[in-house]
Chains A and B, each alone.
Chain A
Amino acid sequence: MKRASLNRIAFQTIYIKEVLRFMRIWLQTVVPPAVTTALYFVIFGNLIGERIGEMDGYNYIEFIVPGLILMSVITSSYSNVVSSFYFSKFGHHIEELLVSPVPNWIILMGYICGGVTRGVVVGVLVTGISLLFADINIHSYLLTLTIFVLTSVLFSLAGFINAIYANSFDDISIVPTFVLTPLTYLGGVFYSIQLLPEFWQNLSLANPVLYMVNAFRYGILGVSDINLGVAFAIILLFIVVLAGFSLSLLQRGVGIKS
């Protein structure tokens, strides 16, 4: 059998299995981010937002829409891959893939595309909900979609690395709780960094989520605290580094082979 054909079929198999996995438990995987985001819109957008007034020339609720959509995309992509891959390690069914001739990059791609799909499904749902609360005219569909997918790829990769190193179910919740959530909340989802003192503005620039949120906000609203080129460069750099690192972990069998 030709390698290309084997790779295509193996990728399809992993990808469909991953999508079926989260769709089978949609009440746990798709609905919660939609409910949480709706609550954010009601509380921060409608109730508190009206007292805050405008930010970067937009109503507060319109300002936070891109960040909230991206936050749900980040969380969904990350948690999909980290939980699915760790569970396959925990139950040893990762061995089904390790004994088969599937190349490591196909395994990685299958899991990442599964994470991106969940990110897209949740993101589209949350975008639909946001339209109920805010009147949004998307500035650039292409840019919005590109950032949407790139962010999802980046955090799916991060989830994959977390799963590789995780030795217990605690390990797959520590990073989201103590790293991912603070980075997201401090990444300009709820405020413009122009509001911060200079020191905190500079410190915020070390947060990669800031670049994604702002690039995504530019795609939707046409405003950003960050230069778009810099944001793209940083996102792509992270993707390349994390993908390379993930492949090297798979190649060495870290966490999955003795």
Chain B
Amino acid sequence: MTALSIRNLQKTYANGVVALKGIDLDVEQGDFFALLGSNGAGKSTAIGIICSLVNKSSGSVQVFGHDLDRDPAAVKQCIGLVPQEFNFNQFEPLEEIVANQAGYYGVERGEALRRTEECLRQLDLWDKRREMARELSGGMKRRLMIARALAHQPKLLILDEPTAGVDVEIRHNMWDLLREINQQGTTIILTTHYLEEAERMCRHIGIINQGEIIEHSSLSQFLNKLSAECYELNLREGLSDFVDQSIGGFAVSRLNDLTLQVEVPKEQSLNNLFALLSERGIEIVGMRSAQNRLEQLYMDILANSRRENG
């Protein structure tokens, strides 16, 4: 079943800014989907329309078969939103914020409080339940928004840059939690600027640029488009006199005495590279991807799109 189906969605704001130019998008049930795009590309507008925070100009949105125009309540009942900005009452205790949100979705108070405990424990916030939201750290506030979005057990969870500004440990914990939620059957749509996050978590991606979807495919299909990957090699001994050159089809450049950068074409294997370097007496002690693969492709596709649009 399709969790989200968007057809010809357009949005022009009152000031004349065209945020969406008729996008089509499908997200299957159970998917972990990344919606990527630079600032102002139209991601938040699209999410705002899906979640009834922004009025669309035209087009249609269906969530689990419910049409946003015909049955907005049924659409809303399916969705849990974690927005980009903190949007809870800073002067309310955490327990009230989460339980009230469940109440807005028709969850009886007793059950709402039970779910509140479950969600706050899951997000490691139960000890803070009686504290005012303004007393939380930035990372805790982000987790509070996730707990609030989960309180009514949504079928579709939408997260708009959920890990922006949180430290590495919390980010990894959030990733684990989101994976777990997804494995339990909740469809997840994520927008993020951390492409490593999208590559680690998501099965499908959509790239939006200047109000248009310019890529919509599975992550593996998308990554197959990468013609070459770039690696940084750490050397055992310094190469102060190395001149940038092509070695057996690999473009090798010197970053510093102890580091080389190599571009590996898709049809080439790393074994060949190591053999060629060994022949030249270059010993490798470590290597890492010079650039995240998704990031590399993302930058390429954005550059192409900009060239095509003049």
Nearest 9 pairs between A and B by C-beta?
Answer: A13-B103, A6-B106, A100-B104, A101-B73, A92-B87, A101-B76, A93-B89, A99-B51, A95-B87
| Alpha-carbon separation in the docked complex, A35 to B100 (Å) | 33
| Alpha-carbon separation in the docked complex, A91 to B81 (Å) | 17
- Which positions in B face A, CB cutoff 8 Å? 13-14, 48, 51-55, 72-74, 76-77, 79, 81, 83, 85-90, 96, 100-101, 103-109, 148
Select which of B48, B83, B86, B100 is within 8 A of A17 by beta carbon.
Answer: B100
A253 CB–B CB distance under 8 Å = yes
User: Do B55 and A258 touch across chains, with their CB atoms under 8 A apart?
Assistant: yes
| Of listed B48, B51, B89, B107, residue having the most chain A CB within 10 A | B89
User: Do B89 and A9 touch across chains, with their CB atoms under 8 A apart?
Assistant: no
User: Do A257 and B53 touch across chains, with their CB atoms under 8 A apart?
Assistant: yes
Q: Could you count the A-B residue pairs with CB atoms below 8 Å apart for me: how many are there?
A: 83
Q: CB within 8 Å of B: which of A171-212?
A: none
| Alpha-carbon separation in the docked complex, A9 to B100 (Å) | 10
With A91-B89, A93-B88 known to touch, is A257 a contact of B54 (CB < 8 Å)?
Answer: yes
User: Do B51 and A253 touch across chains, with their CB atoms under 8 A apart?
Assistant: no
A1 CB–B CB distance under 8 Å = yes
Could you tell me the distance in whole angstroms from the C-beta of B179 to the nearest C-beta in chain A? 24
User: Do A258 and B48 touch across chains, with their CB atoms under 8 A apart?
Assistant: yes
| Alpha-carbon separation in the docked complex, A17 to B88 (Å) | 13
| Of listed B85, B88, B103, B148, residue having the most chain A CB within 10 A | B103
| Alpha-carbon separation in the docked complex, A92 to B84 (Å) | 12
User: Do A99 and B76 touch across chains, with their CB atoms under 8 A apart?
Assistant: yes
Could you tell me the distance in whole angstroms from the C-beta of B136 to the nearest C-beta in chain A? 15
- The residues of B that contact A101 with a CB separation of less than 8 Å are 72-74, 76-77, 104-106
27 contacts between A and B (CB under 8 A): A1-B77, A3-B73, A5-B106, A6-B106, A10-B103, A10-B104, A13-B100, A13-B103, A17-B96, A91-B89, A91-B90, A92-B87, A95-B87, A96-B100, A96-B148, A97-B104, A99-B51, A99-B52, A99-B53, A100-B76, A100-B101, A101-B74, A102-B104, A257-B55, A258-B14, A258-B48, A258-B55
- The residues of B that contact A100 with a CB separation of less than 8 Å are 76, 101, 104-105
User: Do A13 and B89 touch across chains, with their CB atoms under 8 A apart?
Assistant: no
Select which of B83, B106, B108, B109 is within 8 A of A95 by beta carbon.
Answer: B83
Q: A100-B76, A101-B74 are in contact. List 13 more A-B contacts (CB 8 A).
A: A6-B73, A6-B106, A9-B107, A10-B103, A10-B106, A17-B100, A88-B89, A99-B53, A99-B79, A100-B101, A101-B77, A257-B53, A258-B55
| Alpha-carbon separation in the docked complex, A6 to B148 (Å) | 18
A98 CB–B CB distance under 8 Å = yes
Select which of A9, A14, A99, A257 is within 8 A of B108 by beta carbon.
Answer: A9
Select which of B54, B73, B74, B87 is within 8 A of A96 by beta carbon.
Answer: B87
| Alpha-carbon separation in the docked complex, A152 to B121 (Å) | 42
User: Do B106 and A99 touch across chains, with their CB atoms under 8 A apart?
Assistant: no
- The residues of A that contact B52 with a CB separation of less than 8 Å are 98-99, 257
| Alpha-carbon separation in the docked complex, A102 to B89 (Å) | 18
